[in-house]
Amino acid sequence: MGRFLGVDPGAARIGLALSDEDARVALPCATVKRAKDDVQAARQVREVLATREDADGDGVVDALEGVVVGLPLRLDGTEGEAVRRVRRFADALGDVLAIPVHFVDERLSTVAVERTLRTLNVPKAEQRRVVDEAAAAILLQAFLDARGQETWPEADSEEVAAADEQPSAEAAARGARARSKGARRARKQR
């Protein structure tokens, strides 16, 4: 079984999360400052992933089975211009990584993470650094959970699964915060 990449695409930043090697748990990975061009933004994501290795020392990109992208549906469930922009980026990302793209309803996922980070008294500057990757982890975990329960449609990239963001928001926020603290410690040691 391969790994999955979770993506929370925004206009300014792209949050990334990776599943474990068994595709059971989503972990925040990185936040990428987004290029304006979709293909260039997709290449940025690939470059970040190219620096990651799994436990065997193999590249993460080669182990990816699919990409899970959050769709910013309107509150009434309809699609607007934001969804069209995300779909264009997702198409570019699927082409650059050469793997299938799945979509998950991302409504309010970022709001849930922001609320959790505030509840945990995370400083605002740190919240900005981790909110996108924590949201990506929530989206990816919703996909993995649905897939594990066999409620996910087989290989139909046009299906959008509804995500119950609340149960994983705290775990995703804590994971992103811990990753951020570890990165700061590593920079200080250099």
What would the pLDDT profile of 135-149 be if each residue is shown by its tens digit? Answer: 999 999 999 998 876
Encode pLDDT of 151-164 as tens digits. 445 444 444 445 44
Q: What is the pLDDT of residue 182?
A: 55
Question: Over the stretch 72-122, which tens digit does the pLDDT of each residue have?
Answer: 998 888 899 999 999 999 999 999 999 999 999 988 777 888 888 889 988
pLDDT at 29 over 50: yes
Domain holding 22: CATH number?
3.30.420.140
Domain hosting residue 28, numbered range: 3-189
> Is pLDDT larger for residue 165 or for residue 63?
63
Q: Which residues 6+ apart lie within 8 Å of 47 measured at CB?
A: none
More reliable by pLDDT, 178 or 68? 68
Q: Per DSSP, which regions of the chain are E strands?
A: 3-9, 13-19, 26-33, 64-71, 101-105, 160-161
How crowded is residue 144: how many other Cβ atoms within 10 Å of its Cβ?
Answer: 22
Number of domains in the chain: 1
pLDDT at residue 65 tops 80 = yes
Q: What are phi and psi of 22, to 5 degrees?
A: -90, 0
pLDDT score recorded for residue 68 = 97
The overall average pLDDT reported for the chain is 82
CB 101 within 8 A of CB 59: no
